[in-house]
Amino acid sequence: MGIYTDLAREAREINPDILGVTEQEEQIGDVNISRIEVQSQQASDELQKPCGRYITIEAPTLSNRDTQVFKQVGELISKEFMSLLPNQGQNISVLVVGLGNRGITADALGPRVVEKIFVTRHITEHLPDIIGKPMRAVAAVAPGVLGTTGVETLEMLRGLVERVKPDAVVAVDALASRRAARISTAIQLTDTGIHPGSGVGNSRMGLTKESLGVPVVAIGVPTVVYASTISQDTIQLIAQEAGMNEEAEKMLNLADQVISEHYGPMIVTPKDIDTVINDMAGIIADGINIGLHREYYSQVEELLA
């Protein structure tokens, strides 16, 4: 069907019967947390997602912009995020990488999160006693995109990781979803890193333990959908309601071709994406900041204000 998604949860929805995948769901009030583990290479190939853990937090009430829900989801992210770090010790160092183009709102989630990260690496190096207890060393960069820097993100980060030697990289990026409704309401966390483009094949160019030499936890939020998936979903929904199996099959077979001829690979985002990015950047930065600095959060907040 040629439907692309960055979310393991959606890949799984489309292929619910593949073996080698474990799934678990948890409901906390209005928030759903799904935990998927891709365990076999065959499952990985079929889902087009590398082996590893995928946690999706879905909070439909986020779109109401209620500050209580923002806080709740930030807290949930902080816990899930820390659970994906291979080492959670108080002396670890972490490099937060905000991927994407800060000039394109729908792609600016990463850089906006980086602006809100409590950066402490220079304090731990130069003023280790200022806090009075061990503090995790956090650095944060937004390396830009190939089109505006002329340098591949991986090239940019390899040299940096060699010098900063973090215990883990946390990569934040905007994702493509199959369902527009997930844009303001879902967050995916994974220990498999970032795999740009459509699959796991070119993992050499992704940001992964293999390419960077340190574990990479990725946190992403859907911000765009392919226009074609909106049409495909509609046809399927109509076909279901009308019981038109045969005709729908025929139409879906034509859809890809017709859509790509008339629309091209059009990628869309909600009209209010500015608000979504702003809210989500705050929630994810809260999750990372609270997770890494929980023990002395209020102190750090003041110190770095």
To the nearest whole angstrom, how small is the minimum distance from the Cβ of residue 100 to its own copies?
11
To the nearest whole angstrom, how small is the minimum distance from the Cβ of residue 188 to its own copies?
19
- In sign, the C-alpha dihedral spanning 111, 279, 207, 77 is positive
- Report the chain's terminal Cα–Cα distance, integer Å: 49
Residues 14-53 that bind its own copies (CB under 8 A): none
Residues 91-110 that bind its own copies (CB under 8 A): 103-107
Per-residue mark of binding to its own copies, 194-233 (x: CB under 8 A): ------------------------------xx-xx-xx-x
Report the Cα 84 to chain-centroid distance in Å: 13
To the nearest whole angstrom, how small is the minimum distance from the Cβ of residue 58 to its own copies?
16
Give the CA distances from residue 161 to residues 65, 137, 139, 215, 296, in Å, rounded to whole numbers and listed in that order. 36, 14, 11, 11, 26
The amino acid present at 258, given as its one-letter code, is V
To the nearest whole angstrom, how small is the minimum distance from the Cβ of residue 262 to its own copies?
6
Residue of the chain from 31, 73, 255, 292 that contacts its own copies (CB under 8 A): 255
Cβ nearer to its own copies, comparing 47 with 109 = 109
Residue of the chain from 51, 235, 296, 299 that contacts its own copies (CB under 8 A): 235
Residues 113-172 that bind its own copies (CB under 8 A): 115, 119-122, 137-144, 146-152, 155-156, 158-160, 162-164
To the nearest whole angstrom, how small is the minimum distance from the Cβ of residue 152 to its own copies?
8
| Contacts of the segment 252-259: beta carbons below 8 A, 24+ positions apart | 252/1, 255/228, 255/231, 256/1, 256/2, 256/228, 259/227, 259/228, 259/231, 259/232
List, in sequence order, every residue forming a beta bridge with 61; answer none if it has no partner: none
Cβ nearer to its own copies, comparing 39 with 278 = 278
Residue of the chain from 26, 249, 274, 295 that contacts its own copies (CB under 8 A): 274
Q: Which helix (H) or strand (E) covers residue 100, if one does?
A: none
Nearest in space to 195 (alpha carbons), one of 84, 46, 50: 50
